Structure 1
């Protein structure tokens, strides 16, 4: 279906990065990591116009710099209030024939080609002003987006970049036999295999390092593709209305219908690898991993992005404060110290602590002989001690302070805790006002809740 001509507009102005606050320093002492790289944004604004491959409607997107820590965000400038859509896994709406993001009534579809170019260029922060519901397809490849970014340049910002270096293998299954394995690696590499029952495609494999230079060399030229036999069905569903030989490799039973044929014999697997890269921008961080993918799809790509994002969040929260460090903050000592270590921490927000319950605990001598059960009141005490660490960490001189708990509310015991159990206490700050705080906590054993409730406390001088 014919659409408006593509236009590529680069204004002469180069505003540089927008001002903004730097990254927030971790409050967990001695656990700060040296920054690997700095955040980046675009060096200016650039607009790309064309047609939406599915809507068939005129579309344009303007890429603009954004302040540090703002991330990638679409802004629907054609809608009232210009609603914004963050680029992350939580805002994925659809993955059927492309990746669609949404927030409220606003959507942004076919985002993967643009996101691949931004991801490859290492752009952490950008405002993507979208006019219409779909990113323009351009020629069906990643090239125009990569060229536009190269023309305005990428500039470094003051804030440290969020980088997730995978430290253990991750496996995810996708639909239709899709399989993903992410392995630790010093940089980002995508090894993709596709398998289509078509003589022009068959089984193809490609392995590609990801950098701005390698992306433009190896992946940027590869176009999206489809089958002529599917066109009628897709049109009936309101899809592929903007697809044409100008922006899609169209195959009939014998091969490509496009004049000039393919840009490379393995153009198909190269494009699929680029789609993987684009969907992984949803992780919200630069990645260091080797991604081995079999029969990738947008649904599978997003599932992998979600798994990696979850692990990245856990890694960013992870700390290892052992018993000796705990005693620097809490006045409790044996037998009343009921926290073995702290494993996750978010300053003034959340903390996770561990209590390993052994048969040698002194309270088991009388509670109960022959049927040892950890007293419920000590479960609450252990939970309170973990919560106390969350409060004490916010103090300048924790050794001179003590936490007094003032009230408990809604405390429930769900199942007994016995020798051999490991209780994982997670506490979240609900409110802090005039030196008094409310904390919500729960303890779990093997992911089953054993105790929960709200606590109120105040930090006092010793």
Structure 2
């Protein structure tokens, strides 16, 4: 699967009725530029206000996830968002002339079909990921519902549901890879229990409900009064119960359709984290409240990860340059060659590594009773890493050197001591012009930034006698 962002090739529209509002709505899904994410646009309101698919805008989670920004609401957004994630889309504008997407048949099937009809195209900016490196957990003490995510190379989701009723019982569903969403999850429809349905009708909700867009599990006696209420609500002359305990003549798409729809909801609600996820989600009795609370926790993790800007690398993988390759590029030699290998290299960034050992000569006199790597040498190591970025781009690097001309915004966050593995990441702030290189550098030990600096250097040709 590509690691570049994706959007639609062209716009596509669907029309229908909102489940809870009961209003006719036309949804138009449009292409969007890189780093847009998913943005709802209310075309029925003055100024066409926008509401980003951001978990921090969640206001209510009763029978669906509602977003609200500056008084503008988007109801029941989860099925549409699940379809976009399931189709591997990153960026889209979602125009609606009402507050709620059409419910269609209660699944994500029609959204997926519309997106595929429009086509999907790759964009020019790489994706970012929330990379799960440790277990994250959320438990709702009131219901016992629990979501956990553990490290995984893929985005996987497992749901386990137990509603304590004979008609439904315990169900499980698993999605091993998001590429299986269309086949395994998209057509799983929303569902309700008969006792819930009565309460929703009495509360004036599910105005767009229909026997064809929700599975109704009959968990109580279908009294004449209830039957009459349902006939009126759904415009049916007759209401009956099938042998499998489902209301009227709807046929299940899967034996565990309820668990699969809960999985669909999890994917839709976690789309509100705002970034692609690499991790395995295990959801026990999920619901919109616990899903979105978990999404808020992951969103905080993502913001922290983004703030730290920790490079996602395997320090044991084959390097781009080992120490011998570095010495072919750089004029520095021990004890002033301060990087051991280069792990990543592009035209705009470089990642280098130094293993800090006790036998470094500077430890002899620099706090000898409590050895600390001098800060100036950490900055020098950053600069040398930046030098690799520049010298690797010229055909004859042995004839050039890079020289410091400016350091700015230098910060030291914690001590670097023997045994630490220092990872340096350098990114160009602006293109190289006239031999001047403007760079932002960070040094990490594990997940923590230990040093950062804005650096400027000049590339100069060596004087050859």
Q: What TM-score results when the alignment is normalised by the length of structure 2? A: 0.68
Consecutive unaligned residues in structure 1, runs of 5 or more = 1-34
In structure 2, distance between residues paired with 1:106 and 1:394: 51
Partner of residue 47, structure 1: 13
Post-superposition Cα deviations, 1:135-171, rounded to whole Å, max 9, x if no partner, equal 2222322233244446x3646x476997999999864
2:142 matched to 1:174?
no
Structure ID, larger Rg: 2
How far the C-alpha of 1:194 sits from its partner, in A, is 1.1
Consecutive unaligned residues in structure 2, runs of 5 or more = 222-244
Partner of residue 168, structure 2: 201
In structure 1, distance between residues paired with 2:197 and 2:104: 21
How far the C-alpha of 1:340 sits from its partner, in A, is 2.4
Partner of residue 386, structure 1: 385
Taking a change above 3 Å as real, the CA distance of residues 372 and 278 of structure 1, as seen in their structure-2 partners, is closer
Match of 2:262 among 252, 272, 284: 272
Alignment partner of 1:404: what SS? strand
Is the Cα–Cα contact under 8 Å of residues 228 and 250 in structure 1 kept in the other structure?
A: no
Is the Cα–Cα contact under 8 Å of residues 174 and 296 in structure 1 kept in the other structure?
A: no
Alignment partner of 1:194: what SS? strand
In structure 2, distance between residues paired with 1:153 and 1:142: 16
In structure 2, distance between residues paired with 1:60 and 1:133: 10
Post-superposition Cα deviations, 1:176-223, rounded to whole Å, max 9, x if no partner, equal 3423456758x8764421122334333211345668887356650422
What are the equivalent positions in structure 2 for 1:63-462 lying under 5 Å apart? 63-64=29-30, 74-78=40-44, 82=48, 93=58, 96-97=61-62, 98-99=64-65, 108-122=74-88, 126-149=92-115, 152=117, 154=119, 157=121, 171-176=135-140, 177-181=145-149, 190-207=157-174, 215-216=182-183, 219-225=186-192, 228-229=195-196, 240=205, 242=207, 244-246=209-211, 247-249=213-215, 253-254=219-220, 258-260=247-249, 263=252, 265-279=255-269, 292-297=282-287, 298-299=291-292, 302=295, 315=312, 320-321=319-320, 322-343=322-343, 347-348=347-348, 351-392=350-391, 398-431=397-430, 434-435=433-434, 436-445=436-445, 447=447, 450-462=450-462
My pick for the range that moved more, 295-304 or 358-367, is 295-304
How far the C-alpha of 1:358 sits from its partner, in A, is 0.9
Alignment partner of 1:385: what SS? helix
Alignment partner of 2:383: what SS? helix
The number of residues matched between the two structures is 421
Alignment partner of 2:139: what SS? coil
Considering only aligned residues, what root-mean-square deviation do their CA atoms show, in Å?
5.0
How far the C-alpha of 1:338 sits from its partner, in A, is 0.8
Is the Cα–Cα contact under 8 Å of residues 166 and 184 in structure 1 kept in the other structure?
A: no
Taking a change above 3 Å as real, the CA distance of residues 135 and 368 of structure 1, as seen in their structure-2 partners, is same
Alignment partner of 1:215: what SS? helix
Q: What TM-score results when the alignment is normalised by the length of structure 1? A: 0.68
Alignment partner of 2:101: what SS? coil
In structure 1, distance between residues paired with 2:423 and 2:44: 48
